[in-house]
Amino acid sequence: MIPAVPNATLCQEWEQTHHLLFHLGNLSLLLGLVIPTTLGLHMILLRLFLMTGCGLLIAWATLYRCNLDVMVWNVVFLVVNFMHLFFLLYKRRPIKIDRELRSVYKRMFEPLHVQEALFQRLTGQFCTIQTLKKGQAYAAEDKTSVDERLSILLKGKMKVSYRGHFLHNIYTNSFIDSPEFRSTEMHRGEKFQVTIMAEENCKFLCWSRERLTYFLESDTFLNEVFRYLIGKDITNKLYSLNDPTLSDKTVKKMDRQPSLCSQLSMMQMRNSMASTSDTDDVLNQILRGGSVGSSHQKSPGTKTSSKMKPIKEGMEDDVFEESAPSKSDRMPSTSTEDV
C-alpha cells in the first residue's frame, strides 16, 4: 500500500511570529481605517497612517524577510497614498483673496459658508474691478441697458435719483443694480429707469451678466446664495427709501435730503413711472406730499390710467387698484314728496 501523502496546503507547523516592524506596520494600517469620518482631517490622517504602515512593511520585507514581491507592492501603495495626500493638502492650501475683495467676502459671502476657493472662482474669471470718479454716472435713465452687468460697490458712495430727484444712497458692500437685475430676469432689452451717480470716488466689482448667469446655472449652491443676497439687498434699499441715512451711521450728522417717495416702495415707484404716460402728474403728486396710492384713495372719482399694470412682485402691494365707490355713489337717489 502506498502511504497517503499529507495535504500540502495544511499547516504542519506554525512559524514564529514576525518582527516588531511587521506588527507596527499593520497596527498603523488599522489606526488609519478606524479614524471616524466626523473628524475634520480624517482623510489626511488616513493617508498619513496608511503611508506609515506601508513604510514599516517595506522595511520589514527588505531587512528581515528579503521578500521582493511584498516590498514592491508596499512601495506601490506608498506612492498612491502619497499622491492622495499631496492632493488633499493642495486643496486645503490658503486661498489669497485680493485685499479689495476681502471685505466683500467677509461681509457678504463668508456668513453664508461660501468657501474661499469658490469665491475666488466667482471673482477671478469673468469679473473686473472698475472705478468711477465723483460726478460720473454708473447708469443714466432711459439710456443705459440693464442687461450688461451686475455690480457690488467696494468703495465710496453712489446716489440714485429720478429726473434729478433724490431717491436713496448706495453704500459699500451692497449691490448697485440689484432691483434691475431681479426685475429683468425674464424681460431683456430694458433700460434703467433711474440715474445712478457717484457722489465720491468709487470702486466697484462688475460681473458680465450673461457669463455670471451661465456660471450660476452650473452651481446650485452659489445660485441660491446670489438669490438670497440680491433679495436682501433689495429689501435694504426699500428701507432706505423711508430713511436715506439708515445704511450709514455717519451720514446721520449730515442734512437729510428729502426722499422722493417716503411711502412708496422702490418697485412700485419705478414700475408706475414706467408704465404710465402721465409720469409728470405722478411725480407732481408725490412731490406734493402723498404717494400714488394715497392720491387715488383721496379722490375716488379719479380713474387710473389704462396703461398702468400691477407690479408682478409677490411682496409688493398693488397700488393701482381702483378705490371702492363712495357711499354717495351707492345710495339710491330719492325724491321728496310735497305734502
Q: Is residue 281 predicted with pLDDT exceeding 60?
A: no
Roughly how many angstroms between the first and final C-alpha of the chain, as a whole number? 152
Query: Tell me, what's the pLDDT at 238?
Result: 83
Query: Tell me, what's the pLDDT at 286?
Result: 44
Count other C-beta atoms under 10 Å from residue 214's C-beta. Answer: 11
Query: Tell me, what's the pLDDT at 58?
Result: 94
* pLDDT (tens digit per residue) in 212-254: 888 888 889 999 999 999 999 998 888 877 655 444 544 434 3
Q: Is residue 32 predicted with pLDDT exceeding 60?
A: yes
Query: Tell me, what's the pLDDT at 293?
Result: 41
Q: Note whether 164 and 150 are within 8 A (CB).
A: no
Query: 43: which 3 cell numbers?
Result: 482623510
How far apart CA 200 and CA 183 sit, in angstroms, is 27
Query: Tell me, what's the pLDDT at 183?
Result: 78
Query: Tell me, what's the pLDDT at 229?
Result: 93
Q: Is residue 134 predicted with pLDDT exceeding 80?
A: yes
For the chain, percent of residues with pLDDT exceeding 90? 35
For the chain, percent of residues with pLDDT exceeding 70? 67
Query: 72: which 3 cell numbers?
Result: 514592491
In 3-state terms, what secondary structure has residue 321? Answer: coil
Per-residue three-class SS string for 252-319: HHCCCCCCCCCCCCHHHHHHHHHHCCCHHHHHHHHHCCCCHHHHHHHCCCCCCCCCCCCCCCCCCCCC
In 3-state terms, what secondary structure has residue 125? Answer: coil
Q: Note whether 259 and 252 are within 8 A (CB).
A: no
Query: Tell me, what's the pLDDT at 6?
Result: 54
How far apart CA 232 and CA 236 sit, in angstroms, is 6
Q: Note whether 23 and 13 are within 8 A (CB).
A: no
Q: Is residue 334 predicted with pLDDT exceeding 50?
A: no
Structural domain boundaries of the chain? 20-92, 99-247
Query: Tell me, what's the pLDDT at 288?
Result: 47
Query: Tell me, what's the pLDDT at 47?
Result: 94
Q: Which residues, in sequence order, are CB contacts of 112 under 8 Å at separation 6+?
A: 225, 228, 229
* pLDDT (tens digit per residue) in 307-327: 334 444 444 444 434 444 444
Q: Is residue 271 predicted with pLDDT exceeding 70?
A: no
What's the rounded mean pLDDT across residues 132-147? 88
Going by pLDDT thresholds of 50, 70 and 90, the confidence category of residue 154 is very high
Backbone phi and psi for residue 170, each to the nearest 5 degrees, phi listed first: -120, 130
Query: 214: which 3 cell numbers?
Result: 451661465
* pLDDT (tens digit per residue) in 15-25: 788 889 999 99
Q: Is residue 94 predicted with pLDDT exceeding 60?
A: yes
Query: Tell me, what's the pLDDT at 3?
Result: 53
> Is CATH 2.60.120.10 the classification given to domain 99-247?
yes
Query: Tell me, what's the pLDDT at 339?
Result: 35
Interhelix angle 220-242/266-275, nearest 10 degrees:
90
* pLDDT (tens digit per residue) in 191-211: 888 899 999 999 999 998 888
Radius of gyration of the chain, Cα coordinates, nearest whole angstrom: 35
Region of poorest pLDDT, from 33-47, 74-88, 180-194, 314-328: 314-328
* pLDDT (tens digit per residue) in 48-81: 999 999 999 999 999 988 889 999 999 999 999 9
Q: Which residues, in sequence order, are CB contacts of 40 under 8 Å at separation 6+?
A: none
What's the rounded mean pLDDT across residues 72-95? 92
- Which amino acid type is present at position 92? R
Residue 186: burial class (beta carbons within 10 Å; 0-12, 13-18, 19+): exposed
